[in-house]
Amino acid sequence: MVKHTDHTVTVLDKLTYAGNRASLAGLPEDRVRLVVGDIADAGAVDPLVAEADAVVHYAAESHNDNSLHDPRPFLDTNIIGTYTLLEAARRHQVRFHHISTDEVYGDLELDDPARFTEHTPYNPSSPYSSTKAGSDLLVRAWVRSFGVRATISNCSNNYGPYQHVEKFIPRQITNVIRGIRPKLYGTGENVRDWIHADDHSSAVLTILDKGEIGQTYLIGADGEKDNKTVVESILELMGQPTDAYDLVTDRPGHDLRYAIDSTKLRTELGWTPTYGDFDSGLAATIEWYRQNEAWWAPAKDGVEAFYASKGQ
C-alpha cells in the first residue's frame, strides 16, 4: 500500500530518454508540478530550491551499461548536478536528502555472509558507481564544511511500476510480453538485493522526517536473489517454461553480489518494508507492465536495438 502525504511536490526533470511525463499522470495537479530542466543548471535550480522546504535528490544517470558506453553524462549529472543542488541548498538553508546506491561499496563474494553497512568502505567499480560515490562525498563535505542540513541513503536495487525498460526486471517482463526470450549476463549467478520502489519511497520519507543530519542510512528489504532466480520467477509467474531464456556475454566488471544491512534505519527510525515477500511484489509489477504497455512501448524497440548491437 502506497503511503500518501499532503505535501506539495515540484519535480525538476531534464526529460532525457529515461524521462516520461506520463509517469505523473493521475497525480493531483494542484500539488504536483513538473518543471523541465537540468539539475546542473544553477539558473533553473536556484529559484526552485528558494521556495522549497526540502530537496530530495533522486536525479541521476543510473544505467551501468550506458556508463560503460559513454561516461560523460554521468559526470555531468551525478557530480556537477549534485554540486549545483548542494550550493542552492546552502544558499537558501534548505533541508537536503541525497539518494544514492549500494553500488558505491563495490561488491561481495557470492559465498560471503557479510552485508553492506554504513561503515563499509567505498569501492566503486563502474563509471556509474564512481560518480555516485563522488556525489555522496560532496554531500558529506557540504555538511561538514558549510553546515548544509543533509542526510544520505544508499539503497539496494529497485523494482516496481514506472521503471524504464532498460532496467533488468522490466526488460525481462516486457520481453516475455513481446514474445522475446529474456537475456541473462554470464551464468546469471550475480546477486542483487531487491526492494520495491514503494518501500524505497517510504524509507526516504521516514529519513526526511526523522533522520539525523549528517547521517547515512542504508535502505534494503532483505531481497537477495541471483539473476537466474529472478528471471525464472518472472517466467513462471507469466506462465512460461522456467528455462526459456538465453545467456549472453557478461557485462565488463560485473559486480558479483550486493546485500544491504538496513538495521540502522529499522531500529533508529522505525521503518519496515511493506513488500517483505519478493514474489508478491514481482507479481504486482508484472501485472502493471501487462496493463500499461502504452507507457513502456515507445521506448522498447530502441532499448532492444541497443542491446542487439552488443549481442545482449
Spot the catalytic one: 83, 105, 128, 159. 128
Nearest CA among 157, 159, 165 for reference residue 292: 165
Cβ atoms 247, 189 nearer than 8 A:
no
Annotation marks residue 102 as catalytic: yes
Task: Report d(CA 209, CA 54) in Å as an integer.
Answer: 10
Spot the catalytic one: 13, 38, 61, 103. 103
Spot the catalytic one: 13, 38, 102, 261. 102
Q: What are 276's three cell numbers?
A: 517483505
Distance from first CA to last CA of the chain, Å, rounded?
A: 35
Task: Report d(CA 156, CA 272) in Å as an integer.
Answer: 15
Measured in whole angstroms, how far is the alpha carbon of residue 184 from the centre of its chain? Answer: 20
Looking at 110-262, list the stretches that DSSP marks H as alpha helix, in order from N- to C-terminal side.
Answer: 127-146, 168-178, 197-210, 227-237
The helix or strand, by DSSP H or E, that contains position 184, with its residue range, turns out to be strand 183-185
**CA–CA distance from 19 to each of 23, 168, 295 (Å)?**
8, 17, 11
Cβ atoms 57, 40 nearer than 8 A:
no
Three-state SS for 144-159 is HHHCCCEEEEEECEEE
Annotation marks residue 166 as catalytic: no
Annotation marks residue 128 as catalytic: yes
Residues catalogued as catalytic:
102-103, 128
